[in-house]
Amino acid sequence: MPVDPLTDEQREIRDVVRALARERIAPRAAEIDKSAEFPWDVVDVFREHDVFGILFDAEYGGIGASALLTLVAIEEVSKVCATSGLIIAVQELGSLGLKLAGSDEQKERYLPRLASGEWLPAYALTEPGSGSDSAAMRTTAQRDGDAYVLNGGKRFITNAGIAEIYTVFAKTDSSAGHAGISAFVVEASTPGFEVGRIEPKMGIKGSTTGEVFFDDCRVPAENLLGEEGDGFRIAMQILDRSRPGIAAQGLGLAQGATDYALEYARSRETMGRPIAEHQLVAGMLADMETKCEAARGLLYKCGRLIDEGASGTELTKLSAMTKLYCTDVAMEVTTDAVQILGGYGYIQEYPVERMMRDAKITQIYEGTNQIQRLVIAREMLRENRASLLAGVG
Ligand SMILES: Cc1cc2nc3c(=O)[nH]c(=O)nc-3n(C[C@H](O)[C@H](O)[C@H](O)COP(=O)(O)OP(=O)(O)OC[C@H]3O[C@@H](n4cnc5c(N)ncnc54)[C@H](O)[C@@H]3O)c2cc1C
């Protein structure tokens, strides 16, 4: 029996998203990849059907935030188009700073526009010299009267150039290490804020990934999230809750590729029978399906725990394991799907080569999978487990 902890109402919403994905987004996926243009029409589909509302509480115009349902929606959309799935994931990533650390006034000002999808947000942590080592950032924010003056730049920012607000991390005290980092909400219209180069990429081509610069950019002090020095903690709390979104994107890719390869293997014949009946191909299909189901178990558990209020070390470890496993599965399974299609898998007329290219980024962003392994091991070492070594040696 498939893992399905959804309530009846959540299942209904999932089915709506699944139908939208199949009917409205799947027919656009190849063109989005080919044109490498941001799919505003997909954003319109999400707006019309209140898909962004899944991420937000009713008091801010949402339909009642559910992490589990958010992950399911990202998975469903990513089965047919990972660029479109990422739009939902980044709506969450770019909103989490406000949700977790925003004042009532900040939430009232921004969350309704994010819940309706009127505004898209972004999360700006990475810099040219600081990716995995994010605390080595150089962007600064200096208090000046009723504002902070930001100087520096960020790189590889998803939604660069299309987002209306950016959650930006900058050093308010360069001598204080992690504790010298603060978080700000920066509106794209702020003088001194500029978007630089948008990068051409291997996959998720319709998503924009670009540089943003701050040149004496005066951000009102009321846009500080939490207190000065809270920024690094906020950045990590956001990632604990957003990494499962990337896991969901990875799982969607893996399941979409498995479904496609299965259908292909049923109809493609060699040596007088469908390739699905050759045991080496059947074994690959079985492994692909098993990996997807195992990944889904972790992903849904993670969503359920977030909805039940999990935080701290329990969430950090589970979220890292979920991101690691689901995205490694995404790469393995999409690669196997290409193999099952043989030469046809390698050409652009079939979607699995796009899925394989799209899968690669899931192992890299929001913390590479090497970093996830470091996080998991660190949390394991912190756990107070009963010793098995007593009396040994
Ligand atoms: C398409 C795309 C979208 C992105 N979107 C965003 C976004 O919206 N917001 C944002 O802030 N960032 C974003 N990023 C940045 C992304 O999160 C970083 O690229 C990623 O965290 C890795 O950082 P880096 O590229 O500097 O690699 P580095 O940190 O230089 O790492 C290089 C290699 O070394 C390994 N490595 C580094 N340190 C260690 C270590 N201690 N132990 C073992 N291995 C290590 C890494 O795993 C990697 O294999 C995006 C990147 C891309 C490509």
Instruction: Specify the pLDDT at position 1.
Output: 44
* CA of 99 relative to ligand 1 center, distance in Å: 25
Calculate ∠ Cα 358-139-108, nearest 5°.
75
Instruction: Please report the atom of ligand 1 found closest to the CA of residue 371.
Output: 47
Instruction: Specify the pLDDT at position 389.
Output: 82
* CA of 243 relative to ligand 1 center, distance in Å: 13
Pocket test for ligand 1, best of 368, 373, 378 (most atoms within 8 A of CB): 368
- Indicate left, alpha or beta for 159 from its phi (over 0: left) and psi (-120 to 50: alpha): left
CA-nearest residue for atom 24, ligand 1, is: 131
Instruction: Please report the atom of ligand 1 found closest to the CA of residue 367.
Output: 21
Token look-up 């006034």 returns 105
- Give CA–CA dist 221/184, Å, rounded: 9
- 118 catalytic? Reply is no
Q: Which residues contact 192 (CB under 8 A, 6 or more apart)?
A: 150, 214, 215, 216, 217, 218
* CA of 148 relative to ligand 1 center, distance in Å: 27
Pocket test for ligand 1, best of 33, 137, 156, 328 (most atoms within 8 A of CB): 156
The rounded average pLDDT for each run of 10 residues, N- to C-terminus, in the chain (393 residues) is: 77 97 98 98 98 97 94 98 98 98 98 98 98 96 98 98 98 96 98 98 98 98 98 98 98 99 98 98 98 98 96 95 98 98 98 98 98 97 85 67
Closest CA to 333 of 378, 292, 282: 292
Instruction: Please report the atom of ligand 1 found closest to the CA of residue 370.
Output: 47
Instruction: Specify the pLDDT at position 29.
Output: 98
Looking at 37, 366, 379, 383, which residue is catalytic? 366
* CA of 380 relative to ligand 1 center, distance in Å: 23
Residues with CB under 6 A from ligand 1: 122-126, 131-132, 156-158, 201, 209, 361, 364-368, 370-371, 374
CA distances from 105 to 147, 159, 381 (A): 17, 25, 40
Model-level pTM? 0.97
Instruction: Specify the pLDDT at position 3.
Output: 55
Instruction: Please report the atom of ligand 1 found closest to the CA of residue 126.
Output: 11
CA distances from 67 to 52, 154, 219, 288 (A): 12, 28, 31, 26
